[in-house]
Structure 1
C-alpha cells in the first residue's frame, strides 16, 4: 500500500480553511489511504543506513460543501517512518523559491535513491521557473524583461512605449499570490528608480512587463493533473485593483477553457511531464499563459467549490 507523506509549511502559516495540501491530505485519509504530514524541519537523509522521516498524523472535517475545511489538527508527537519504495512524497511547500527551498529539493533528490515517488518531482521543480517557463514556452507570450541591467531595461521600455504601452508591472521572480507586484506609469525615471529598489530588496533579477488592462475583467486559473483538466475558474479583482488574487479579495466562478487555450496547456504539460511534473496550475490573462505553477499549485479548494465537487478525489484516482 502506498504511504503518502505531504511536505507542508508549518500549519500555523497556512489558511487552514482553504489550503489545497490539507484538502488533499484529508481526502486521502477519508478514502482509506495511509497518509501523514511532515515539514522541512523533520526531513533528513543519511548514507550509513536507510533514512527515516519524522511524520505526524492528523484529523479534520470538511464543511457541508465538501471543499472548504471546518476543522483540522495535527498531532504534536512525531513518529518515525522508513523511506522506502512504497513512499510517495508530495512536495507542497509554498514559495519563495529561496536557498531553503533549494536545499529541500536536493534532499528529496537524495531520498529518491530509495525508489520513492515525489509529486511534483523535485527535478522538475529544480529545472523550471514558473514565470520564466511561461515566457519561453507559451506560443502567445507576454512581452517580458527579466534581468538586472538598467541599460537593457531602458531599451525594452522604449520599445514598449512605441507600442503604445502606458503602464508597467514590476515583480520579483520567485514569490507568489501577487506578493511584491507593483504597477507604475511608464515614465522612464520612475520605472528605473523602482527597478533599482526592487533589485536591492529581492537581491537579484526583476521581471518587467506592460500592464495588461484585461486583468480588470478577470484572470483564469486552470488546474491539471497528469495532463487532465480538473477545473478552471475566472478571478475578478476588486474594483481599482490590478491583482486578481482571491487572497486579496478577488471574486471567482467556474469557467470553461476555450479549445485553443486547453490545447496550449496540454502541450506545455506534455513537456513538463518529462521531468516528473504531474500537477500544474495555469494562470491565463488576455488569452495568454502568464504563469505555470508547479512548485505548489494552489486554489484546489476554490476551484473545487466552483466546480461543485472535491477535485482532490480526482487527483487521488490518478496517483
Structure 2
C-alpha cells in the first residue's frame, strides 16, 4: 500500500490557453482540486512554494482554507524555502493551519531551489550569519522551527500582562500537538537526507536530485532513501518516518490524454545545472496506456522504496482535467501495482 497524493506548482499566466490566468484562479482552483481529490480517494494535496514568481507563494492561508473545506485528505507543501522564513512566526502559522485541518498538515520544508531574483531572501529581511552561506541559514532557521514546535516555554512573561498568563515561561501559540512529527525535509543529496534523519524529519525526494553517481534518478533516489533510513536507525528515534517521491505520471485513457501527453519526448532522465556548478539529474515523465505504465513503474526503484507518491499535476489545465489525471492513476494503475 502507498499513499498517493498530488503536487501542484500553482502556475498562472494571463494566456488565453491557461485555465489559471490569475493568482485568484490558482488559489480557488487549488482548493477545488483538493476537494475533488479527497472525493476520489486520494491521500494528499501538496503545493510547491516559490517567491517572486507567478506561482503559489504564501502557503498557510491556502492550507487553512483547504483544511476547512475537507475532512480526510492530508494537506502539505513540497517545499517551503526556509531561507525566507521567520521560524517563530511560521510555528504560529503552521499550528493554526494544522488545528483548522484537525491535524492533517504534512509540512515539507527545505533549503530552497534556484530563485527568480538574486538572493531574494535578503528582501525578506534575512541574511546569513558570520561564516554561513544561504543553505546554512536555511538549516539554522529549520532547527529553530523544529525546536519551537516541541511546545516548550522559553519566553519570560510580563509581570503586568494584558491578559493572565499560565505559570512559567511562555511558548508560542497556538500549539498543535503532533505536528513536530509531520515535518518533511526536501533533500537533493544523500548528506542532507542523513541530516534530516538525525533531526527527526520525514523525507521528500523530488523529480530532481544532485547528480552524485551518474546513475538514473530513480536509483540515486533509492540509495538516498536507504541512506536516510540507516541514519534514522542510528539516531535512535522511537517512531517510524515517512518517505515520499514525486513523479510526473499520466495514464493515457482518453483522446485528450493522448493529445496532451502521448507524443513522448521525455522518456529519459536529463542532466542540467541548477546553478553555475551544481549538476543535477532531472527525472523522466511516465505517459503510457495503463498496462504499459504499470510495467514501467515496476522498474522505478525509488517509488518501490517510498511509502508516499506525489503526482505532479499540470494545474493550468484546470480542475476537471487534473481530477481526471488523479482518478486515472488511482483507478487504472495503482491496483495493478498493489498500491490499492
TM over 0.5, yes or no? no
Bigger helix share: 2
Q: Output the TM-score relative to the length of structure 2.
A: 0.27
Q: Output the TM-score relative to the length of structure 1.
A: 0.28
